[in-house]
Amino acid sequence: MNNYKKIQIEEYSYILAEHKIAIFPTQKRDNSKLLVFRNNKISESKFSNINNYLAENSLLVFNNTKVIQARLEFKKETGAKIEIFCLEPNNPPDYAMAFQKKNECTWNCIIGNLKKWKSGTLKHKFTINNESHIVYVQKLDSLDNYHIVKFIWNSDLTFSDILENIGKTPIPPYLNRNAENSDKINYQTVYSKFNGSVAAPTAGLHFTNEILDDLKTKNVGLEEITLHVGAGTFKPVKSALIGEHQMHTEHFFIKIKSLENICKNIGNIIAVGTTSVRTLETLYWIAYKFMTTKNFKFENINIDQWESYNYNEEISPQNALSSLLNYMKNNKIDVIKASTRIIIVPSYRFKIVNGIITNFHQPKSTLLLLIAAFIGNKWKNIYDYALNNNFRFLSYGDSSILLRK
């Protein structure tokens, strides 16, 4: 077994008291605290001052995914409540098509109170503009981690309309509260565009339109990619060794113009959030595979969990991305559609990302391992500082900017 697979998750733990977890966000997004790590030193500021810590030639890369109202509640005739948590589209599998689908579609879902729903069809009645609608659900195949659920409705509504009208915001389970109307806005970045996530890319929740405008005037570049965040982002590491942990799959999309901008700015890229980190690093390995694999196909592109650790790193990020970009231009390919199970742990060598803006993550999580991979054992100093200086943790908590030399 490789040494990186022998990493003990217990070494990446810390005591997170419940009162340190932010149950609600700050009233104004950019009023959150900001921990600054640069030149191996820690300081603190307000997030509204983020532009003070970004060089003029930086390129910020944001994840513009949009959180869907993924939790739907149905009632059996007996009164039993059944919650259906939509994870990802099954048929049609394409996200854009699935949200625009009318009359019926199927999704991979988690079902709450499953023991009360052995069989049969459930229904939910609702009203939009004094017009009544009914959506029916049927449970189809059951797999290890999810169930395939069919939704049927007889109206001109899209599935996106249905989710917006009867769904609830899928706030994280560790908040220990029900979703409120305010979460529909608060648990969404101001730059969100494309439906698909069941968890917010929370590093971006601190940004306001005013901050984005200020960054543009400072000549800081802004770029967007799309990775739809899955429920697996909350999956705890239960195994003693990280090599025994199974990473979840997440789907992402990068337009050719975004790829071109990223390629031009190698060496100056700041990822906003761990989802952007995983996407950008996966992008390098896609380009690597493109250059080293005969008959590389642009269909069903995937980077597996440990795949990147097995390659000989002989291609520079600039050359790899340039080669991929030129091929896409010559063959009129406008977007990369791919999926990733990449896991980033200590010993990983970053290819694209030079800085990270991120919140504070749960103990014994793959996200904390990613941070440790980026800044080494200094993560302990950073988390100790945050714990001892009243920083708020997790999704609605405070932020940090991590800059390596």
* Segment (H or E) for 323: helix 317-330
Q: Residues for the chain: how many in total?
A: 405
| Strand-strand pairing, 81-91 and 71-75 | antiparallel
Q: Where are the beta strands (DSSP E) in 198-333?
A: 221-228, 250-255, 269-272, 301-303
Supply the DSSP symbol for 305. T
Three-state DSSP at 226 gives strand
Give the least confident one: 62-71, 183-192, 228-237, 361-370.
228-237
Give the Cα separation of 254 and 90 in Å (integer): 21
Over residues 295-324, mean pLDDT: 92
Give the Cα separation of 354 and 405 in Å (integer): 9
Going by C-beta distance under 8 Å and a sequence separation of 6 or more, which residues neighbour residue 66? 188, 192, 193, 194, 195, 196, 197
The pair of structure tokens assigned to 349 is 């060598």
The pair of structure tokens assigned to 148 is 């395939």
Phi, psi dihedral angles at 72 (to 5 degrees): -120, 135
* Longest alpha-carbon distance in the chain: 63
Q: Please report the pLDDT score of residue 202 as a whole number.
A: 97
Q: Please report the pLDDT score of residue 1 as a whole number.
A: 46
CA angle, 183 then 247 then 159, to 5°: 45
Which residues sit opposite 255 in a β-bridge?
335
Type of residue at 360: F
Q: Does residue 198 contact residue 230 with C-beta atoms inside 8 Å?
A: yes
Residue whose entry in the numeric block shows the structure tokens 């217990």: 10
Question: pLDDT digit string (tens) for 337-390?
Answer: 999 999 999 999 999 999 999 999 999 999 999 999 999 999 999 999 999 999
Give the Cα separation of 288 and 316 in Å (integer): 9
All domains of the chain in start order, with CATH: 3-66+185-403 (3.40.1780.10), 70-167 (no CATH)
The pair of structure tokens assigned to 110 is 């988690």
Going by C-beta distance under 8 Å and a sequence separation of 6 or more, which residues neighbour residue 11? none
Type of residue at 105: C
> Which whole-number Å values give the CA distances from 15 to 150, 205, 363, in the listed order?
42, 25, 8
pLDDT of 403 > 60? The answer is yes
Question: pLDDT digit string (tens) for 238-272?
Answer: 999 999 999 989 999 999 999 999 999 999 999 99
Question: pLDDT digit string (tens) for 98-142?
Answer: 999 999 999 999 999 999 998 889 999 999 888 999 999 999 988
Residue whose entry in the numeric block shows the structure tokens 């337009």: 255
Q: Where are the beta strands (DSSP E) in 300-348?
A: 301-303, 335-340
The pair of structure tokens assigned to 313 is 């790193």
User: What is the percentage of the chain residues whose pLDDT exceeds 90?
Assistant: 86
- In terms of Cα–Cα distance, which of 306, 327, 324, 305 is closest to 315? 324
